[in-house]
Amino acid sequence: MDRRLSILTGQGRRLDGGVVFGSVPHRVWTDWIRPDQDNQVDLPSRALLVQQDCQNILVLAGCDMLLAPLPRTCRCQQHTHGLIDGLAQLGLAEGDIHVVVLTHLHAVLAADVQVAVRDGDIPRLLFHRARYLVGKRHWLRALRPHPRDRGLFVPQVLGQLEASGRLNLLDGGHCELLGADWRFHVSDGHTPGQLLPEIHTSAGPLVFAGDLVPGTPWLQLDVTSGHDRNPECLVEEKEQLLDHLVANRGRLVLARDPWVAMIRVTRDRQSRYQAYDEHPSLLRLEA
């Protein structure tokens, strides 16, 4: 099968560093990512584009990037580079996407988008021709969220997904729509039912890590986030996935790492996971 892989970057997130790194001491995580004076850190939002069998498939970690950008209200506003710009650089338009795989449905919205949602001006969903693929169990969680993560689900986005008529709920590890080279790991540690797609390639398996392993600091098993619903479960899932990648010389796509987009993983003499073969970006990799 002819397949090309590209990693695209949308509008990033600005989050409280203490929440991002959970129980990791401040003096430790600030050596990894330097915060601003308000303790905020900037994290990218990456998407994986898979082009195969005349299909363009996008994998997104959460549904922030699924919302169309707000229109600029005056010429003085600076254009913010987003997912549509990244697709345009590859000669693709919004209507060229056939499938959107959503690892989960959390949405950390920018301040202006939050205001628009509050005022009833929710942006439309991008990719009007695409089928949206979501895990069935996670969809049920999103419809009836726990009070601890209710704020990460946006009911207006869920309503648009359901009303689109193009929502496909995945109940199992495989999907006929994507083909036999795709399978899904199901993770419950960050949010119940998160889907982590694994693609079989000639160079070994490639896994989009979503928010299970969002960046290289999270290769340390005990590093979790304040948003993780079940940290102990997450640590076990992370170890299982990383061992799988080490054994099969697999690659990991990192959705939130500030500097690295894709890595391979090994274990050192102390059995700690380490990144190598690091790629800051990826365009049209033949796979």
Give the DSSP letter string of 73-114.
SSTTSPPPP-HHHHHHHTT--GGG--EEEES-------HHHH
The burial of 149, by beta-carbon neighbours within 10 Å (0-12 exposed, 13-18 middle, 19 or more buried), is given as middle
Q: What is the mean pLDDT of residues 135-142?
A: 97
Q: Is 4 strand, coil or helix? A: strand
**pLDDT tens digits for 28-79?**
999 999 999 999 999 999 999 999 999 999 999 999 999 998 876 666 656 6
Check residue 247 and give its pLDDT. 97
The backbone torsions φ and ψ at residue 194, rounded to the nearest 5 degrees and listed phi first, read -65, 135
Provide the total of helices (H) and of strands (E) in the chain, helices listed first.
7, 13
Amino acid of residue 186: V
Q: Tell me 16's DSSP state.
A: E
Q: Check which CATH number belongs to the domain holding 232 and give it.
A: 3.60.15.10
Any long-range contacts for 273-278 (C-beta under 8 Å, 24+ apart)? 273/219, 273/220, 273/221, 273/242, 273/246, 274/219, 275/216, 275/219, 277/251
Check residue 160 and give its pLDDT. 96
Domain count along the chain: 1
Q: Where are the alpha helices (DSSP H) in the chain?
A: 17-20, 26-32, 83-89, 111-118, 136-143, 155-163, 231-248
* Short-list 7, 3, 94, CA closest to 45: 7
| Those residues with Cβ within 8 angstroms of residue 272's Cβ, 6 or more apart along the chain or in another chain | 219, 220
C-beta separation of 275 from 265 below 8 A: yes
The separation between the first and the last C-alpha atoms of the chain, rounded to the nearest angstrom, is 9
* Short-list 100, 96, 85, CA closest to 170: 100
Q: What is the mean pLDDT of residues 218-232?
A: 96
Residue with tokens 């039912």: 193
Which residue range(s) make up the domain with 250?
A: 3-286
**pLDDT tens digits for 65-116?**
999 988 766 666 566 678 999 999 999 999 999 999 999 999 988 888 888 8
| Model confidence, pTM | 0.94
- State the chain's mean pLDDT as an integer: 94
Query: What does the radius of gyration of the chain's CA atoms come to, in whole angstroms?
Result: 18
Nearest-5° Cα angle at 271, 192 to 26: 65
Percent of the chain with pLDDT over 90: 86
Check residue 74 and give its pLDDT. 63
Q: Containing H/E element for 10?
A: strand 3-16
